[in-house]
Structure 1
């Protein structure tokens, strides 16, 4: 279970963290995590009837007891199957955004008359990106943002540890932010660094405020912050400074939402989880697959024989019936009475309702993917095997997924540009790198690459129809270019084709 936070509006954050814990359990794919979440709700509402907890916003009796996992706790079922569909959604979300490393560049360093300072900044940025493996870190953030509604990217540094600043990822359920007008103004990052005996929990708090980072160490219990202790109390924070002056006007971190608006908490600036609203569907899917597996187990062929057909195993002392034995010794017994089933062998074989279960599961999966904002085809459903499709055909089939991807891409792109700009500023201030910080440009690669011949063919046909200007053709061919790059390319094309001429003189 996630720890309970400690800001002034604790009741509101309890409500948020309860949902974080639920979504994290579905994302984990671990049945034990789901049991833990729903068992705690059942225990909290035991002995109550139709009670609404105004701190969490849940009618716990209504929301939990009727669910499959909660019922399984009560009924003590032996067969409980979990389908990790939430993990699939998170994985596809990250793949659509970052199927390939993004193109990160300093625009000023790629101009024809680029200054040496801009080129030096580009080289330094490339070096740091390679050293910290930024692509893998952003993949982690993008995947966890899917179930938790967003993630945090923050800049940390220690010249004794690494000769460059590092971008690290913090998950949404390890942070307590404050926003104003949609902008992040302060955030508390909390992390459990040690759990000892008697429920002793050591937490490190990293508090980001404009121009300063405050580090604190607290000794408490699960769900209780406890009391503050010296940073030297634990080896993990022994070399950490209590206060670090960043030299920045703002924060050294950014919150990158999954997508907006947040339908569950419309009054917050938190991003929306892909799992919000589909918990019941995922719960029902687990119930269907569990029922299917139960049918399989019950349908195992069984042979029921009377006692006299059993042999005593001398080693185990148990009576067994050998199915593979071909020759039996003669038995001193009378004729078998057909009305007495105890005298003969009875075969037991139950039917497996495979088709009914498959159709129900298929419908539930379709609804889950659609409600999460994706096309079922992105998960291998409704696909025609063996056929090669163009990028246009793939995008048409998976149109809903790409619309969702484009919504998310804007938030991720802006967030990456912000945090990389902060990284360059920190690098100049604290590492004396001598570079001039420029704001980088981040271009997320399309997960489905369009065939260049297909694109050029479309442009050529429109050009023959006199339906395109040179400016539009350049924009179609290079959708990732900046306005400055597009204008420079248009000017160069017109010069090469003799279209850039001076207007004629008008003589009177």
Structure 2
């Protein structure tokens, strides 16, 4: 049986470095200050002196040297501010890839019609979400699923990389096991394992502990797996209807830290890998800026004689907004009766310059241009100028497309096969051609001026000019538009070389 049979450690120990790294990236991506303090050990006050810990070695010393690893002093409120730039990075990566839906085309008309139904707006939303998760965790798994009680067609779902045990053969995914915790009770953990192999999926339910997989139990013991019990074979497998592996893995970028690890070298790399110290420094900069603002609030120090008693045992106060005051019956003590105004300077320029430099360095290290994230203004420019300013982002997008295009072709072929297996319809599953749309659209006025110059120079046909103005149109739409243009301009005449018989 391909699924585990003994009480093994789970997750497998060799996944430890990858899972630890993904946990760190996921914490930064979540944007939750509480999780960051918990990750770096700075959530509790009254512990060891952070200054002493910073000189220590090992894990504790390394954590204490992070700004988020410095505990809040006892008796003080937390004033740490988090800038969610990790979420902006991953979201921007997904927007660059799937701001426009990719086009899938096949040769068979019946299959194309069914493919158009399967790849509706729901697929684009799934791909956008998957791309953002993959940018954060270093990779994403996609696979087709179906449920005849839910929908009349198959669809695509994403599986996260921190809940997957992949197997690669010569750099290609050959099998993968996904796991999910379906119940926790009295220290016992029930895990649902799904192992995907070419043509079939093995399902198994295990009762164990937090660190141990435990023993296999019947699928009927959990509500999430009970529905698969009548479907599995004697080996515990369910047929997929697709001869190949029905799962694709899209690494975000090539791995750096695990390139020499025999079992992790094919895993992807997060956009956040290596920029964690810079994000920590950015949070420290903004928190220092806000601290300057708090300390810079104007304060008035008044002599005790100016205070108004609030009654026995209730202290005294002074109202700075009161317009008229009664005379103070005290001896004149010179400067001791003066009001003292305390106003600290707020270092706005220094903090802003530091923050901008850190943001630019984070974006550059992750492979993006500042213009992509609105740095540099929103002045309207042509598509050519936008591409020039965002060249680094466009280069990163192109590298990611090289990984996404073949994976999507394989995925859509599997989707067609699974849909045919579950719902029929006479389609012919085949691998489609995948085209990514330009993420930067040309300005219509610029296109019109270019087309006008080309027409006056007689350097392009009407068909070429229509295709330039409407790159999203198919051949039938272009032909219809060309006919209308010729009719309105009076050039819709028949070819004299094909006009009847010559006298």
Q: What is residue 495 of structure 1 aligned with on the other side?
A: none
| SS of residue paired to 2:257 | coil
Aligned residues: 452
The whole-number CA distance in structure 2 between the counterparts of 1:119 and 1:248 is: 21
Out of 286, 291, 296, which is 2:293 matched to?
A: 296
The whole-number CA distance in structure 1 between the counterparts of 2:296 and 2:209 is: 49
Q: What is residue 178 of structure 2 aligned with on the other side?
A: 189
1:20 aligns with 2:22: yes
The whole-number CA distance in structure 2 between the counterparts of 1:178 and 1:479 is: 41
Contact 1:96 1:447 in 2 (8 A): yes
The verdict on how the C-alpha distance between 1:186 and 1:47 changes in structure 2, with shifts beyond 3 A counting, is farther
CA deviation string 1:419-456 (max 9, x = no partner): 11001111222323321112122211111013577579
Q: What is residue 3 of structure 2 aligned with on the other side?
A: none
Residues 288-327 of structure 1: pairs in structure 2 closer than 5 A: 288-313=285-310, 317-327=314-324
Contact 1:200 1:221 in 2 (8 A): yes
Q: What is residue 89 of structure 1 aligned with on the other side?
A: 89
**Which structure 1 residue ranges, 5 or more long, are not aligned?**
1-5, 52-59, 109-117, 483-497, 499-508
The whole-number CA distance in structure 1 between the counterparts of 2:39 and 2:322 is: 51
The verdict on how the C-alpha distance between 1:49 and 1:330 changes in structure 2, with shifts beyond 3 A counting, is closer
Contact 2:72 2:78 in 1 (8 A): no
1:264 aligns with 2:257: yes
CA deviation string 1:164-183 (max 9, x = no partner): 22210112112121111111
The whole-number CA distance in structure 1 between the counterparts of 2:146 and 2:29 is: 31
Give 1:204 shift.
Answer: 2.3
Which stretch has the larger CA shift, 412-421 or 154-163? 154-163
| SS of residue paired to 2:407 | helix
| SS of residue paired to 1:133 | helix
CA deviation string 1:207-250 (max 9, x = no partner): 21222212223344444444443322222222124521224332
| SS of residue paired to 2:130 | helix
Residues 345-494 of structure 1: pairs in structure 2 closer than 5 A: 345-383=339-377, 385=378, 387-451=379-443
Q: What is residue 80 of structure 1 aligned with on the other side?
A: 80
Q: What is residue 3 of structure 1 aligned with on the other side?
A: none
Q: What is residue 139 of structure 1 aligned with on the other side?
A: 128
CA deviation string 1:317-358 (max 9, x = no partner): 3532212112233333111242x4xx5432221111111111
Contact 1:288 1:361 in 2 (8 A): yes
Q: What is residue 39 of structure 2 aligned with on the other side?
A: 37
The whole-number CA distance in structure 1 between the counterparts of 2:301 and 2:27 is: 43
TM-score, L = length of structure 1: 0.79
Contact 2:195 2:203 in 1 (8 A): yes
The whole-number CA distance in structure 1 between the counterparts of 2:312 and 2:35 is: 42
Contact 1:336 1:344 in 2 (8 A): no
The whole-number CA distance in structure 1 between the counterparts of 2:17 and 2:43 is: 13
The whole-number CA distance in structure 1 between the counterparts of 2:431 and 2:9 is: 34
The whole-number CA distance in structure 1 between the counterparts of 2:270 and 2:423 is: 38
The verdict on how the C-alpha distance between 1:457 and 1:304 changes in structure 2, with shifts beyond 3 A counting, is closer
Out of 140, 143, 146, which is 1:157 matched to?
A: 146
The whole-number CA distance in structure 1 between the counterparts of 2:243 and 2:437 is: 32
Give 1:9 shift.
Answer: 9.1
The whole-number CA distance in structure 1 between the counterparts of 2:313 and 2:187 is: 45
Give 1:300 shift.
Answer: 1.2
1:206 aligns with 2:194: yes
TM-score, L = length of structure 2: 0.79
The Cα RMSD (Å) is 3.7
Contact 2:9 2:213 in 1 (8 A): no
1:238 aligns with 2:245: no
The verdict on how the C-alpha distance between 1:7 and 1:140 changes in structure 2, with shifts beyond 3 A counting, is farther
The verdict on how the C-alpha distance between 1:427 and 1:62 changes in structure 2, with shifts beyond 3 A counting, is same
Out of 77, 93, 109, which is 1:119 matched to?
A: 109
The verdict on how the C-alpha distance between 1:466 and 1:327 changes in structure 2, with shifts beyond 3 A counting, is closer
The verdict on how the C-alpha distance between 1:388 and 1:9 changes in structure 2, with shifts beyond 3 A counting, is closer
The verdict on how the C-alpha distance between 1:311 and 1:456 changes in structure 2, with shifts beyond 3 A counting, is closer
**Which structure 2 residue ranges, 5 or more long, are not aligned?**
1-7, 48-52, 230-235, 475-494, 496-503
The whole-number CA distance in structure 1 between the counterparts of 2:469 and 2:308 is: 81
Contact 2:145 2:156 in 1 (8 A): yes
Contact 2:54 2:62 in 1 (8 A): no
The verdict on how the C-alpha distance between 1:174 and 1:463 changes in structure 2, with shifts beyond 3 A counting, is farther
| SS of residue paired to 2:119 | helix
